[in-house]
Structure 1
Amino acid sequence: MSLPRIAVDAMGGDEGVRVMIDGAAEARRRHDRFKFLLVGDETRIKKALDDHPNMRGASEILHCDDVIGGDELPSRAIRRAKTTSMGLAVNAVKQGDAGAAVSAGNTGALMAMSKLALRTMPGIDRPALAAVMPTLEEHDVIMLDLGANTEADARNLVQFAIMGAAYSRILTGFDRPRVRLLNIGTEEIKGTEALRDAAAQLQEATGLEMRFDGFVESDKINRGEVDVVVTDGFSGNIALKAIEGTARFVTDLLRSAFTSSLRSKIGFLVSRPATELLKHHLDPNNHNGAVFLGLNGVVVKSHGSANAAGVANAVAVAARLLENELTQRITADMEELQKAVAAASADAGEEAGASA
Structure 2
Amino acid sequence: MSLPRIAVDAMGGDEGVRVMIEGAALARRRHDRFKFLLVGEETRIAQALENHPNLKAASEILHAPDVVSGDEKPTQALRRAKTTSMGLAIDAVKRGQAGVAVSAGNTGALMAMAKLALRTMPGIDRPALAALLPTLGEHDLVMLDLGANTECDTRNLIQFAIMGAAYARIVHGLDAPSVRLLNIGSEETKGTDNLRDAASALKAAAEQLAFSFDGFIEADKISRGNVDVVVTDGFSGNIALKAMEGAARFVADLLRRSFSSSLRSKFGFLISKPATELLKHHLDPNNHNGAVFLGLNGLVVKSHGGASALGVAHAVAVAARLLEENLTERIAADLTRVGAEAFRSSGRNTKAQPQAAGAEQEVSGEGA
Shorter-chain TM band: over 0.9
Letter aligned with residue 164 of structure 1? G
* 2:204 equivalent to 1:204: yes
C-alpha RMSD over aligned residues: 1.2
SS in 2 for 1:303: coil
Residue 26 of structure 1, CA deviation: 0.3
Letter aligned with residue 172 of structure 1? H
Letter aligned with residue 195 of structure 1? L
* 2:287 equivalent to 1:292: no
Give TM-score scaled by structure 2 length.
0.92
Partner of 2:360: none
Partner of 1:48: 48
* 2:228 equivalent to 1:227: yes
* CA distance in structure 1 between the aligned counterparts of 2:96 and 2:209, rounded to whole angstroms: 30
Residue 341 of structure 1, CA deviation: 2.9
Cα distance per residue 1:37-65 (max 9 Å; x no partner): 00011111111111111112210000113
Residue 156 of structure 1, CA deviation: 0.1
* CA distance in structure 2 between the aligned counterparts of 1:66 and 1:135, rounded to whole angstroms: 39
Residue 253 of structure 1, CA deviation: 0.2
Partner of 1:266: 267
Letter aligned with residue 314 of structure 1? A
Q: How does 1:36-75 map to 2 (within 5 A)?
A: 36-75=36-75
* CA distance in structure 2 between the aligned counterparts of 1:171 and 1:202, rounded to whole angstroms: 22
* 2:333 equivalent to 1:301: no
* 2:323 equivalent to 1:311: no
| Contact 2:123-2:340 at 8 Å conserved across structures | no
* CA distance in structure 1 between the aligned counterparts of 2:234 and 2:155, rounded to whole angstroms: 14
Deviates more, 1:209-218 or 1:332-341: 332-341
* CA distance in structure 2 between the aligned counterparts of 1:56 and 1:340, rounded to whole angstroms: 46
Residue 204 of structure 1, CA deviation: 1.2
* CA distance in structure 2 between the aligned counterparts of 1:32 and 1:115, rounded to whole angstroms: 31
Deviates more, 1:232-241 or 1:40-49: 40-49
* CA distance in structure 1 between the aligned counterparts of 2:44 and 2:182, rounded to whole angstroms: 44
Letter aligned with residue 235 of structure 2? F
Letter aligned with residue 69 of structure 1? S
Partner of 1:148: 148
Deviates more, 1:333-342 or 1:52-61: 333-342
SS in 1 for 2:105: coil
> Comparing both chains, which one has the higher relative contact order based on Cα–Cα distances under 8 Å and sequence gaps of 6 or more?
2
* CA distance in structure 2 between the aligned counterparts of 1:190 and 1:339, rounded to whole angstroms: 25
* CA distance in structure 1 between the aligned counterparts of 2:46 and 2:197, rounded to whole angstroms: 54
* 2:35 equivalent to 1:16: no
* 2:20 equivalent to 1:6: no
Q: How does 1:235-274 map to 2 (within 5 A)?
A: 235-274=236-275
| Contact 1:207-1:340 at 8 Å conserved across structures | no
Give TM-score scaled by structure 1 length.
0.95
Letter aligned with residue 43 of structure 1? T
Cα distance per residue 1:309-353 (max 9 Å; x no partner): 0000000010000011101111011112217938x99xxxxxxxx
For the pair shown, the structure with the greater C-alpha radius of gyration is 1
Letter aligned with residue 23 of structure 2? G
SS in 1 for 2:57: helix
| Contact 1:199-1:214 at 8 Å conserved across structures | yes
Identity %: 76
* 2:109 equivalent to 1:117: no
Partner of 2:330: 329
The answer for unaligned runs of 5 or more in structure 2 is 347-368
Q: How many residues align?
A: 344
* CA distance in structure 1 between the aligned counterparts of 2:249 and 2:20, rounded to whole angstroms: 24
Partner of 1:177: 177
* CA distance in structure 2 between the aligned counterparts of 1:334 and 1:141, rounded to whole angstroms: 21
| Contact 1:118-1:297 at 8 Å conserved across structures | yes
Cα distance per residue 1:144-197 (max 9 Å; x no partner): 000000000000000000000000000111100000000000110000000000
* CA distance in structure 1 between the aligned counterparts of 2:19 and 2:341, rounded to whole angstroms: 47
| Contact 1:142-1:228 at 8 Å conserved across structures | yes
* CA distance in structure 2 between the aligned counterparts of 1:263 and 1:84, rounded to whole angstroms: 55
Partner of 1:166: 166
Letter aligned with residue 291 of structure 1? V
Letter aligned with residue 297 of structure 1? G
The answer for unaligned runs of 5 or more in structure 1 is 346-356
Residue 271 of structure 1, CA deviation: 0.2
Residue 134 of structure 1, CA deviation: 0.6
Partner of 1:351: none
* CA distance in structure 2 between the aligned counterparts of 1:70 and 1:340, rounded to whole angstroms: 38
Cα distance per residue 1:59-87 (max 9 Å; x no partner): 00001131001000011110000010000
Letter aligned with residue 331 of structure 1? A
Cα distance per residue 1:122-141 (max 9 Å; x no partner): 00000000010010012110
